[in-house]
Amino acid sequence: MPVAASLLIAGTTSDAGKTVVVTALCRAFARRGLKVAPFKAQNMSNNSMVVSNPGSPGDPGVPGTPAGSDGTGEIGRAQWIQAVAAGAAPEPAMNPVLLKPGGDRRSHVVVMGQPAGAVSSRDFVDGRAHLAEAAFAAYDDLASRHDLVICEGAGSPTEINLRASDYVNMGLARHGDMPVVVVGDIDRGGVFAALYGTVALLEAADQRLLAGFVLNKFRGDASLLTPGLRELEALSGRPTLGVFPWHPDLWLDSEDALAVPASGGAASAGAVTAALRVAVIRLPRISNFTDVDALGLEPDVELRFVTEPRDLAGADLVVVPGTRATLDDLAWLRARGLDRAISTHVKRGGAVLGICGGCQMLGREIADPDGTEGRPGARIDGLGLLGLTTRFAADKALRLPAGREFGEDVTGYEIHHGRITRGDDDEFIGGARRGRVFGTMWHGTLESDGFRSAFLAEVARGGGAGAAGDGRAGWVREASGVSFGRAREARLDLLADLAEEHLDLDALLGLAQAGAPAMPLLEPGASR
């Protein structure tokens, strides 16, 4: 039986701030000396990470673990960063079920880090009992090995149309008899109604576990909220355990592609004089877009997500990122004329970096013999900017590779069904290079500071489209000294500092340890 204290952080909506609050609590309670584990029973995200499988054959910590072995597994990026915040080794049990959308009605399933078929939208109503069993077993295992398990819900706990098959919100809370705290995003408006309604629509057994609220993304004088918070407590019988502020320096590895701007986007902080201009293609099924996060920290890099050919004008570097559906997104790219815009960019001397699915698109041909991408027997021409060819296979490659490029150490991770053959191009980490066109199957390489600096110096030295257009061709870029790892740690500490200041951590820990106190029941849910 579980022995750890447990707490479930739910939300009034998706993107209400559950991930931020859980991450903050993981770091804050870890700093108090507790052995903390994050947990999300089911995550739906195309932003994932490769992790080592504890207790698997061989040495799972060795980079380059062969594909298909038990040495590695795949979990949501959010749970990975929460584990980092907690000072815990990320493992599949922290996100036992990962759904990777392949379209509007179908998702690929990862169970305990390994591919496990697919589910349709109908399966959200029935047919998920085996996933619930896997999730509950993973939670029980974590709870037996930690002092505190901080769980993250998904969407809203009051999806009453899906309650019968729920195992990530109130279904999980009931399994672990754990108290629930609901986060509401005050920046969206209507937060008091959303919080009260979240309680009132729940059936009585669920209401008994819902023990408090947290408001997120507040701007301004928190004292102005006092009358509303008092009335909310009087009406619901539940206290607000903190008001988490909006802060300009908060940043987390996002799990939701909806968080990526459809076009435009802010330039990175700092000076933009003689900036390198980077345009990232915002593919419809973009995945692992955190690959470019490190570029956004560079003071002389202007980073934008783009969707139109005209948005590539003046760019020094175009990034074609990963995608969950390479063939569909390649068709989208062509339909918008972005294929021609990228080719024009290269002819003008601009640099291109393709990552995973983006790397495959840059090649000569993509084959899907068994229908892994939904087109059995298809052979599709790529953009032809690299000579490599791709062949999809049913088994997924999961690796933690390491190597050297531009004289610098570089690490990354691989998650893909496509197998590439390099052809006549020059070697490049996890892929190929032809002149100023680079392709790699490794995600996360730009987080290696030395490699990132050397790669950006190569882009600047060649005089890309932007540089050639304003007289900066051949610009020698000096290393910025930015450390991505230190920046991430600083922001995790900032989250914990904000939690210490603005959340009632003692009350939250007391809830986790003692369970939900007696709670009043609200209509209409109380009658159910």
3-state secondary structure 321-369: CEECCHHHHHHHHHHCCHHHHHHHHHHCCCEEEEECHHHHHHCCEEEEC
Domain ranges of the chain: 5-251+489-527, 275-474
Task: Supply the pLDDT for residue 372.
Answer: 83
Task: Name the 3-class secondary structure at 440.
Answer: strand
Task: Supply the pLDDT for residue 254.
Answer: 55
Q: In which order are the strands placed within the sheet that holds 389-399?
A: 378-381, 365-368, 389-399, 414-421
Structural contact between residues 134 and 1, judged by C-beta atoms closer than 8 angstroms: no
Task: Supply the pLDDT for residue 64.
Answer: 34
The domain 275-474 having CATH identifier 3.40.50.300: the answer here is no
Q: In which order are the strands placed within the sheet that holds 148-152?
A: 36-39, 148-152, 5-11, 180-185, 210-218, 240-245
Task: Supply the pLDDT for residue 400.
Answer: 94
Task: Please give the Cα distance from 458 to 464 (Å, whole number).
Answer: 10
Task: Please give the Cα distance from 107 to 93 (Å, whole number).
Answer: 20
Tens digit of pLDDT per residue, the chain (528 long)? 457 899 999 999 988 999 999 999 999 999 999 999 999 999 988 888 999 875 443 333 333 333 344 578 999 999 999 999 999 999 999 999 999 886 656 788 999 999 888 777 666 555 578 899 999 999 999 999 999 999 999 999 999 998 899 999 999 999 999 999 999 999 888 999 999 999 999 999 999 999 999 999 998 888 889 999 999 999 999 999 999 998 877 766 555 444 445 444 444 444 444 489 999 999 999 988 889 999 989 999 999 999 999 999 999 999 999 998 999 999 999 999 999 999 999 999 999 999 999 999 999 999 998 888 888 888 999 999 999 999 999 888 899 999 999 999 999 999 999 899 999 999 999 999 999 999 999 999 999 999 999 999 999 987 644 544 454 555 677 778 889 999 999 999 999 999 999 999 999 999 999 999 999 999 998 888
Structural contact between residues 299 and 270, judged by C-beta atoms closer than 8 angstroms: yes
Taking the chain, what is the end-to-end CA distance rounded to the nearest angstrom? 29
Task: Supply the pLDDT for residue 56.
Answer: 41
Architecture per CATH, domain 5-251+489-527, reads as 3-Layer(aba) Sandwich (3.40)
Topology alike, domains 5-251+489-527 and 275-474: yes
Helix axes 449-462, 484-502, angle to 10 degrees: 120
Task: Say which residues have a Cβ less than 8 Å from residue 328's Cβ, sequence separation at least 6.
Answer: 284, 285, 373, 374
Structural contact between residues 296 and 303, judged by C-beta atoms closer than 8 angstroms: yes
* pTM for this entry: 0.87
Active site residues: 356, 443
Task: Supply the pLDDT for residue 268.
Answer: 45
Task: Say which residues have a Cβ less than 8 Å from residue 78's Cβ, sequence separation at least 6.
Answer: 19, 23, 40, 43, 45, 47, 152, 252, 253, 254, 255
Task: Please give the Cα distance from 104 to 119 (Å, whole number).
Answer: 12
Task: Supply the pLDDT for residue 357.
Answer: 95
Task: Please give the Cα distance from 384 to 452 (Å, whole number).
Answer: 25
Task: Supply the pLDDT for residue 267.
Answer: 43
